[in-house]
A and B are shown apart, each in its own frame.
Chain A
């Protein structure tokens, strides 16, 4: 009964109400954001590397970059679909679009992005493996269109920015959740893409030149550093909105999200930063940093997605 005796006399207490509605957007939306960051991140980081270095320094990048993006985007779209309570009606987004909704705009952009990445993936794959289905008419036709890759690549890179960032606008349109501030979320989404985009490429960079590997390590280190600073700022110094304070007080007081948040910070940000800064020559450690960055980002996204949903709205 200690608990009750600490209630202040001035405090109002709810004595009868409906139960709290719980987590509405849960692990499927986390996975959706996480996979989208990889799908767009490899294109953004890949484009940056291609701009700064010769193709020969990264021989497998041309075909593996769109392949990784293609797989991640399909994971993203799959979880987007199955998170719907009426998944068969997904088609309504295309037949009855409501353009004020960032969900609509995002779904259209992500679909177009997937089409472009698919073209890049198929053309580069068949060109890379020129003996695969050598006599197949479709394979031949795709190989003949290989030049498309370089033509659509700039558009794909351009589109990767809004595709990776539109979830921040969905979070901003989620007017009930004050923790999600659009400015901060836009930057966090972009940093997340660079973070896991570089982490994914680190895993395939075995044969790449040392200067490219160093640059990848630097991209990872800087993106986790900036993202970490933003999380710390939001976590410790969000004094301005009552609901945000209540949300963070809930996490600060301990419990599963407290542990999850700090596990995310250590795995996703602190460990990769120090490894990328101090041990960028060590391939095994760099791969380890890439894996912990993947895990940490998932945990961070999950925490930030779920905690504002723990606060009663009415």
Chain B
């Protein structure tokens, strides 16, 4: 059995339902993501188009993250999932340097590496990954790519010639496919990121690695006395006064 994902970019409408479902299901901390939907604009007005590309861990069959992990915290499951054991992880960030897709983040709450696991915990209980369930247009197709009768295998057969993976030149053998993808959507070097002119450029990002919120001392003390960074927890943000709104009103803006 080899579990894989396929995203039909012709169907995806960029609603971000999958992204939100993933955040909720896996309690992904603020400023981190396991699955994100990237918007890319092509062309010049009035001939413009916008494409949406959901990006997550590819569960590579030849995974550089697994190879570099010094303690096997990253490991293959029998069903092909590249899983992570956060109890084992020492937080060396080697995997973050090795993954060619930037799919791994250092969880600011647990101080360990984390990433999409294809919702391994749900699959164990016979459920589909949260993002698959949330997608209103069934653009996410998930299943066993070694079973030729599975939906994903049939989809791949039906779309032969239009199946792509990200960075095939890296020989990571990803088990995550795209239909309707192109250089502009799948190759990060093919599009420009211009700071200051995007829709959401100044995204709130929690400082995490080497920041005062995660001091070197905390790294030693947290495992003994518990996490000192309560102000970083997702729940704590729900109680925060919305300072941005107040600020806006004070300035007479809307």
Which chain A residues have a beta carbon within 8 Å of chain B's beta carbons?
3-4, 7, 9, 11-26, 28, 82-90, 92-93, 96-98, 100-104, 107, 170, 173-177, 242-243, 246, 309, 311-314
Contact = CB atoms under 8 A, between A and B. Distances in A.
B40 A93 contact: no
Contacts of A15: 39-41, 50, 198-199
Interface centre among A4, A16, A103 (most CB of B within 10 A): A16
B105 A16 contact: no
B55 interface: yes
Contact of B97 (A9, A25, A28): A25
B93 A17 contact: no
A16 B39 contact: yes
A195 B166 CA distance: 41
B203 A88 contact: no
B71 A96 contact: yes
B121 interface: no
A192 B188 CA distance: 33
Contact of B214 (A85, A100, A103): A85
A313 B220 CA distance: 31
Given A13-B192, A312-B102, A98 B70 contact: yes
Contacts of B99: 175-176, 313
B199 to A, nearest CB: 5
Given A243-B189, A312-B193, A98 B72 contact: yes
Contacts of A175: 64, 98-100, 170, 172
Given A28-B210, A177-B97, A314-B102, A101 B70 contact: yes
Contacts of B214: 85
Nearest to B68: A173
Contacts of B111: 85-86
B192 A12 contact: yes
B223 interface: yes
Contact of B33 (A18, A84, A86, A93): A18
Nearest to B220: A87
A312 B101 CA distance: 9
A205 B39 CA distance: 61
A103 B194 contact: no
Contacts of A100: 67-68
